[in-house]
Structure formats: structure tokens, C-alpha cells
Amino acid sequence: MLKEFKHVRKLYYIEKGIFRTYYIHNEKEITSWFYTENQFLTSWSGFYNQETSHEYIEALEEATIYSIEYSAYQKLINSYPSFERFTRLLAEEQLAFIDSFFKGYLFMTASEKYKLLLSIIPDIELRVKLGYIASFLGISQETLSRIRSIK
């Protein structure tokens, strides 16, 4: 859907499906986030700054999404104050969530990170390869298996 070093032109809304964003580090895929139904998805800094992306976006299952080009997005913002307010609130919500999530996340054990992920996306194990989850948590697949067996 989006490849690294491509210009980010679209913002997506997910009606159905799950996606992951990831980047390549030392020739290894590192999952940076998962997006599910009723969420907006893009390479955020690339979209807002109209720059190339340093990440990939991949659909992990059959999906239904809607997209808007950056130019149409800007036209709506400039034409409709209510849409401008909506986009500001969306950006604020995203920023607040990311800020709150990662401040606590940095100090959690692998098990705590896994439980937090399950609290946000309860059915993630049914929808995503365990290797992607392990990558997101920053642990090996074997460590994830041990954590899961303790449940």
C-alpha cells in the first residue's frame, strides 16, 4: 500500500481490516504500529509534511478502506471550518495517545507491553502473525510464546 521513500499523498479510513506500519532496520522488518477498524491511517509525518515516508503500510487481511488525497483534504479544511476542527481534534487525539502510550511503554516489561497491546486490540492474536506482534514488542517470537503460555 505504501512503500518506504514514496511520497505520502493519502489519508485512509479503515472500515474493515487490520494494517501494520513497519520500517526496515539492519535488513529486518520492525513493526511500528497496528491499525484496525474505525481508525485513520497514513504515514503521519509524511502526510502532514508532504514528505517521503520512511515506513511501509501493509494490509494484513482483507480490508475495506477509504482514502482522501492530500490536496482534497486541504481543500476541505479550507472550505469547511467544521472539517478543519475535526482534523485538528483527530491530530490532537493521535498525538495525545502516542505520547501517553510510549511514555509508559518504555518502562514496561515485555509481558506488560503484551497485555497493553491486548487491551487495545483484544483479537490481535487471531488477525496478525505472531512474528509481527513480537517485532512490535521488541522481543523474539520465542519470548512471546513463553509470555503467551503464562496466560
Q: Element (H or E) spanning 111, and its range?
A: helix 110-120
Instruction: Please tell me the total count of domains within the chain.
Output: 1
Tell me, yes or no, whether 112 lies in a domain: no
Q: What is the pLDDT of residues 128-142, one digit of tens each?
A: 999 999 999 999 999
Q: Is residue 1 scored above 60 in pLDDT?
A: no
Average pLDDT on 111-125 reads 93
Domain of residue 67: give its range.
1-80
Q: Is the pLDDT of residue 104 over 90?
A: no
- Start-to-end CA distance of the chain, whole Å, equals 35
The more confident residue out of 117 and 6 is: 117
C-alpha pair distances (Å), 143 with each of 26, 107, 146:
21, 18, 5
Calculate what percentage of the chain has a pLDDT beyond 70.
Answer: 95
Cell readout for 38 is 474505525
Q: Is residue 58 part of a domain?
A: yes
- 138: in domain: no
Asked whether the beta carbons of 14 and 39 are under 8 A apart, the reply is yes
Convert the pLDDT of each residue in 21-32 to its tens digit: 999 999 999 999
72: confidence class by pLDDT, cuts 50, 70, 90: very high
Q: Residue 44: which residues within 8 A CB-CB, separation 6 or more?
A: 94
Three-class DSSP category at 57:
strand
Domain membership flag for residue 56: yes
Residue 110 falls inside a structural domain: no
Q: How confident is the model at residue 3, as a pLDDT?
A: 53
Indicate whether 19 belongs to any domain. Answer: yes
Domain-located, residue 89: no
Q: What is the pTM of this model?
A: 0.88
- CATH code assigned at 13: 2.60.120.10
What pLDDT sits at residue 144?
Answer: 95
In the predicted structure, residue 5 carries a pLDDT above the cut 60:
no
Specify if 87 maps to a domain: no
Query: Which pLDDT score, from 0 to 100, does residue 60 have?
Result: 96
- What mean pLDDT value characterizes the chain? 90
Res 8: pLDDT: 81
